[in-house]
Chains A and B, each alone.
Chain A
Amino acid sequence: MTEYSSPLPRSPLLSVLRQIGNTAVTLLVTFIGLLAVTFIISRVVPIDPVTSILGERATNAQIEQTREALGLNDPLWQQFAIYLGDTLTGDLGTSIRTREPVLQEVARRFPATLELATLATVLGVLLGVPAGVIAATKPGSWFDQITRLIGLMGYSMPIFWLGLMGLLLFYGHLGWVGGPGRLDAVYQMSYDFDITPYSGMILLDTALNGRWDMFANAFSHIILPAGLLAYISMAYISRMTRSFMMNELGQEYITTARVKGMPEYRVIWVHALKNVMVPLITVVALSYAYLLEGAVLTETIFAWPGLGSYITDALMVADMPAVLGGTVVVGAAYIGLNMLSDLLYRLVDPRARA
């Protein structure tokens, strides 16, 4: 990194601007790379979009006409240039299946995923970080063993199975939580008419509209899928926290603090944890990004109308503009989260402020 080794003194403002500029260029290049990869994949898969649009009864003239209209007869580079231009100006194309603008559909589906992933990540962090810290302070204890076992189960059990079993137990037998979907039928029907959609996230919107009955119902529906996803991310977060923490607790400054007679909870939760935060931010950001893109199976089982199920449904009927559009949005969210964790580094770690 030349900027760190540069011998010339420079103003802090310039440095920040340069950092932002570098990040922006990196982001743009990454984004174009993402577009190129998704575009190429969409063109090499053996799915003929024309057949999926027109179906069994199409005449040959209709097929040729549609190929022309979709620009499929143009050279590949030309198709990519058009695609790139459209995407960068916010035009993600039109869904083959519904003939709605993909951007509009994605905008409707994304809040559902965002809500689920956010709640799951919050729960995952709230449970995973303390569990990891406690396990690290008492390695080999029963708490540590159980945390590791739970973590291992979270890693290794297929989410599809876990989801169905969760539904069967908590919804089917115990009746503690609401079933699949975001609301009970009776609320779902009135949702469109009674609620002003500020964000598309039901918990937030019902709260802002003061409909606490609906909020409670929405909460009973989201808690199981969110809890399930939280479990998966908790498994990851607690393991990583444990190993970072173990490493940190062996440092000399910890010994110094203890020798000085500092209370143990301050040593652990303030001094050690603060230094663990830096790598932990990356872990949390990655796990959040994973939930934003990867909750496909959970969304299917829980009939959650989010982005994951949108992309899967689209893939099943070879609706490539919808698949590409959804993928681009997920990719953009991924890149955005990376940038966010970069910024957070600088807040948490003075060394990264350079």
Chain B
Amino acid sequence: MLFDPTIRRAGALVVAALMLGAAPSALFAATPADTLVIADAIDDIVSLDPHEAYEFSGLDVINNTYDGLIELDPTKPGELVAGLAESWSVADDGLTYSFKMKAGLTFSSGNPVRAQDAAYSLQRAVKLDKSPAFILNQFGWTKDTVDSMITADGDTVTIKVDKPFAPTFLYNCLTAGVASIVDEETVKSHEVDGDLGTEWLKSNSAGTGAYVLKSFKPNEGYVLEARSGYWRGDAKLKRVFMQHIPEAATQRLQLEKGDIDIARELTPTDIEGMAGNADITVQQDVGGQIFYLAFNQKDERFKNEHFLNAMRWAVDYQGMVDTFLKGTEVVHQSFLPSGYLGALTDTPYSLDVEKAKAELAASGITDTTIKLSVRNAADRMDMAQSIQNTFGQIGITVELNVGEGAEQLKEYRARQHQATLQSWGPDYPDPNTNSSTFAENPDNSDEGKNTGYLAWRNAYDPGAMTALSQAAVLEKDPAKRVAMYEELQKTSRETSPFIVMFQIGYQTGMRATVKDFYTGGATDSVAYWLVSK
């Protein structure tokens, strides 16, 4: 006998016990009724200090834990509404703004919200000088000047700017996360070695938002808990639990199972696969990122208008969306994403091989081989191959130069590429963010090293557009300002070495019971406090 008889009997018992234990149990219920459970990839979060956070996932948290003087209406993309300020006005010279604070509001600590908190917060953001500080620096605020340019007196904050900017420009920038108002007393009480409390704020909150940050573990998740008495009305759900789950197939399984309420990283394949499921709804909206082709004008061919036109008519915009992009991108052909003030949403270009061939012939260019740099990411490779195919149909040979993201960026910034497939996300919810980079180039020389301007990276001198874009940011009449951006986009679309192709689409998978989940679209972040289920 191979086994000792006692062992045989014990073994049988163990096997039976294991089989009983594996039977289905009541462990796997739906998500708690008062909690919104979300799966997303949140490994982009660097800090949850509102004056440092500058990544999508981090700004989602900031939007729900803090408010600014002015806010965006989450239900109407791009529309300004009062935040912690009740009213505001601008002096005739366009250099001084007054914001009157709402009365009776409190921070999550219970401290009252004062004008002093607002002034302190903007000063802090400038002094902290992290990535998003440049949004505020545009108004002439520096570490040395900000204390005198932003002051509080009673219930009024006075803000001075160094140029008579378009008021909407300031207002839009004040809706950005970096302009969030923090609780001065709480933050100061956590200051260590003059760090302005930033170490503490990385994983704690001190704001007026609908939620308070209860816990945060990098690359694992966070928990938000609702506070009562939120000035826009209490959050409908008591808690938000975010889990870092980067794998789309895993998210889908959990969503179908009811273990999560919302999945934010699904692929078109997952979306298609869930089509017949009555328990799941898919919400489609657009984000702010755009995809574009750029051609370096150090190569003289890319200054030829007919050659550029030929390529504009040789991209299969709709074909790509219909076949492999499927909702992850929508066709968009101007440098302002839709949702932005003045954005042009018409799409005049489509794949027209005959027209493209005629333009190519008119260009007189005979050397039609171009080298296209592209990042080794699946969606970009698909786009590049489609472009290679349709350009080939009109007689332009595309050689792909595939590489890692950071390396390609280095090449782009050094003006060493020939053609490149790139994406660009706006920095703040004002049209100047994209207009200044696509349509301005104050110094096109190599020595200028204006790497921040996409126009410069492509050795492209936009001519009169630079001045027009600079004037638009100073235009006080909102209607005129819109007209100026429309003209800029049109001119850029027809003459620049940029071919804008797509705007990013968000596909959010949700349990059918989830209502009112606003992603923030192109200009804003998620608003959890409106969600019910």
Give A contacts to B, CB under 8 Å.
46-48, 51-52, 55-60, 97-100, 105, 108, 134, 137, 164, 167-168, 171-172, 174-176, 178-181, 184-186, 188-189, 192-193, 216-217, 220, 263-265, 268-269, 300-303, 305, 309-310, 313, 316-318
User: Quick check: which of B31-39, B87-95, B147-155 contacts chain A, the rest being far away?
Assistant: B31-39
Question: A217 — which chain B residues lie within 8 A by C-beta?
Answer: 27
Asked whether A174 lies within 8 Å of B24 as measured between CB atoms, the reply is: yes
5 A-B residue contacts at CB 8 Å? Answer: A51-B407, A99-B47, A186-B31, A189-B223, A317-B43
Give the complex CA separation of A43 and B409 in angstroms: 19
Asked whether B253 lies within 8 Å of A99 as measured between CB atoms, the reply is: no
Asked whether A57 lies within 8 Å of B452 as measured between CB atoms, the reply is: yes
Question: A137 — which chain B residues lie within 8 A by C-beta?
Answer: 2
Give the complex CA separation of A216 and B451 in angstroms: 56
Give the complex CA separation of A97 and B44 in angstroms: 8
Question: B427 — which chain A residues lie within 8 A by C-beta?
Answer: 57
Choose from B22, B32, B247, B452 the contact partner of A176 (Cβ within 8 Å). B22
CB under 8 Å from chain A, chain B span 5-57: 7, 22-25, 27-29, 31-32, 35, 37, 39, 43, 45-47
Asked whether B223 lies within 8 Å of A181 as measured between CB atoms, the reply is: no
Asked whether B24 lies within 8 Å of A180 as measured between CB atoms, the reply is: no
Question: B404 — which chain A residues lie within 8 A by C-beta?
Answer: 46-47
Asked whether B449 lies within 8 Å of A172 as measured between CB atoms, the reply is: no
- 7 tightest Cβ-Cβ pairs between the two chains A and B: A51-B406, A303-B245, A185-B37, A98-B218, A305-B220, A180-B250, A179-B259
Choose from A58, A301, A310 the contact partner of B250 (Cβ within 8 Å). A301
Min Cβ gap B53→A in Å is 12
Asked whether B27 lies within 8 Å of A178 as measured between CB atoms, the reply is: yes
Give the complex CA separation of A185 and B31 in angstroms: 7
Choose from A48, A185, A300 the contact partner of B406 (Cβ within 8 Å). A48
Min Cβ gap B447→A in Å is 11
Q: With contacts A48-B406, A48-B407, A60-B451 known, is A184 near B28, CB below 8 A?
A: yes
Asked whether B24 lies within 8 Å of A175 as measured between CB atoms, the reply is: yes
Residue of A nearest to B406 (CB): A51
Asked whether A263 lies within 8 Å of B219 as measured between CB atoms, the reply is: no
Asked whether A189 lies within 8 Å of B239 as measured between CB atoms, the reply is: yes
Apart from A180-B245, A303-B245, A317-B43, list 10 A-B contacts with CB within 8 A. Answer: A46-B404, A57-B427, A172-B256, A178-B28, A179-B259, A184-B29, A300-B246, A301-B250, A303-B246, A316-B43
Min Cβ gap A353→B in Å is 30
Give the complex CA separation of A301 and B220 in angstroms: 14
In the complex, B221 has a CB within 8 A of chain A = yes
In the complex, B260 has a CB within 8 A of chain A = yes
In the complex, B362 has a CB within 8 A of chain A = no
In the complex, B244 has a CB within 8 A of chain A = yes
Q: With contacts A48-B410, A265-B4, A303-B250 known, is A181 near B43, CB below 8 A?
A: no
Give the complex CA separation of A317 and B45 in angstroms: 12
Question: A48 — which chain B residues lie within 8 A by C-beta?
Answer: 406-407, 410
CB under 8 Å from chain A, chain B span 51-102: none
In the complex, B200 has a CB within 8 A of chain A = no
Residue of A nearest to B243 (CB): A181
Min Cβ gap A17→B in Å is 42
Question: B7 — which chain A residues lie within 8 A by C-beta?
Answer: 265
0 or 1 for each of B249-273: is its CB under 8 Å from A? (1 = yes): 1100110110110000000000000
Asked whether A97 lies within 8 Å of B46 as measured between CB atoms, the reply is: yes
Question: A105 — which chain B residues lie within 8 A by C-beta?
Answer: 218
Give the complex CA separation of A301 and B251 in angstroms: 10
Asked whether B247 lies within 8 Å of A300 as measured between CB atoms, the reply is: yes
In the complex, B241 has a CB within 8 A of chain A = yes
In the complex, B283 has a CB within 8 A of chain A = no
Question: B1 — which chain A residues lie within 8 A by C-beta?
Answer: 263-265
Choose from B27, B46, B241 the contact partner of A220 (Cβ within 8 Å). B27
Min Cβ gap B325→A in Å is 22
Q: Interface centre among A47, A51, A59, A264, by most B CB within 10 Å?
A: A51
Question: B215 — which chain A residues lie within 8 A by C-beta?
Answer: 192-193
In the complex, B416 has a CB within 8 A of chain A = no
Min Cβ gap A190→B in Å is 9
In the complex, B131 has a CB within 8 A of chain A = yes
Q: How many A-B residue pairs have CB under 8 A?
A: 133
CB under 8 Å from chain A, chain B span 205-246: 215, 217-221, 223, 239, 241, 243-246
Question: B24 — which chain A residues lie within 8 A by C-beta?
Answer: 174-176
Give the complex CA separation of A263 and B5 in angstroms: 12
Q: With contacts A188-B241, A189-B239, A216-B27 known, is A52 near B406, CB below 8 A?
A: yes
Question: A55 — which chain B residues lie within 8 A by C-beta?
Answer: 131
Residue of B nearest to A297 (CB): B247
Give the complex CA separation of A232 and B218 in angstroms: 30
Asked whether A172 lies within 8 Å of B257 as measured between CB atoms, the reply is: yes
Give the complex CA separation of A264 and B47 in angstroms: 65
Asked whether B407 lies within 8 Å of A164 as measured between CB atoms, the reply is: no
Q: With contacts A184-B27, A185-B260 known, is A134 near B254, CB below 8 A?
A: no
Give the complex CA separation of A4 and B145 in angstroms: 78
Choose from B29, B45, B221, B249 the contact partner of A188 (Cβ within 8 Å). B221
Min Cβ gap B7→A in Å is 8
Give the complex CA separation of A110 and B215 in angstroms: 20
Asked whether A175 lies within 8 Å of B28 as measured between CB atoms, the reply is: yes
Question: A176 — which chain B residues lie within 8 A by C-beta?
Answer: 22-24
Give the complex CA separation of A213 and B239 in angstroms: 22
Question: A46 — which chain B residues lie within 8 A by C-beta?
Answer: 404, 407
Give the complex CA separation of A184 and B253 in angstroms: 14
Give the complex CA separation of A137 and B2 in angstroms: 8
Q: With contacts A51-B406, A313-B43 known, is A179 near B257, CB below 8 A?
A: yes
Question: A269 — which chain B residues lie within 8 A by C-beta?
Answer: 4
Residue of A nearest to B47 (CB): A99
Asked whether B247 lies within 8 Å of A188 as measured between CB atoms, the reply is: no
Asked whether A303 lies within 8 Å of B247 as measured between CB atoms, the reply is: yes
Asked whether A134 lies within 8 Å of B407 as measured between CB atoms, the reply is: no
Asked whether A185 lies within 8 Å of B253 as measured between CB atoms, the reply is: no
Min Cβ gap B437→A in Å is 9
Q: With contacts A175-B28, A180-B250, A317-B43 known, is A185 near B243, CB below 8 A?
A: yes
Asked whether B241 lies within 8 Å of A318 as measured between CB atoms, the reply is: no
Residue of B nearest to A137 (CB): B2
Question: A300 — which chain B residues lie within 8 A by C-beta?
Answer: 246-247
Min Cβ gap B377→A in Å is 11
Asked whether B451 lies within 8 Å of A59 as measured between CB atoms, the reply is: yes
Residue of A nearest to B422 (CB): A56
Question: A60 — which chain B residues lie within 8 A by C-beta?
Answer: 449, 451
Choose from A51, A303, A317 the contact partner of B409 (Cβ within 8 Å). A51
Asked whether A313 lies within 8 Å of B131 as measured between CB atoms, the reply is: no
Asked whether A56 lies within 8 Å of B409 as measured between CB atoms, the reply is: yes
Residue of A nearest to B215 (CB): A192
Asked whether B2 lies within 8 Å of A268 as measured between CB atoms, the reply is: yes
Asked whether B219 lies within 8 Å of A186 as measured between CB atoms, the reply is: no
Give the complex CA separation of A52 and B404 in angstroms: 11
Asked whether B218 lies within 8 Å of A51 as measured between CB atoms, the reply is: no
Asked whether B410 lies within 8 Å of A51 as measured between CB atoms, the reply is: yes
Give the complex CA separation of A261 and B427 in angstroms: 84
Residue of A nearest to B403 (CB): A46
Give the complex CA separation of A217 and B24 in angstroms: 13
Min Cβ gap A89→B in Å is 22
Question: B35 — which chain A residues lie within 8 A by C-beta?
Answer: 185-186, 189
Residue of A nearest to B449 (CB): A60
Min Cβ gap A317→B in Å is 7
Residue of B nearest to A181 (CB): B243
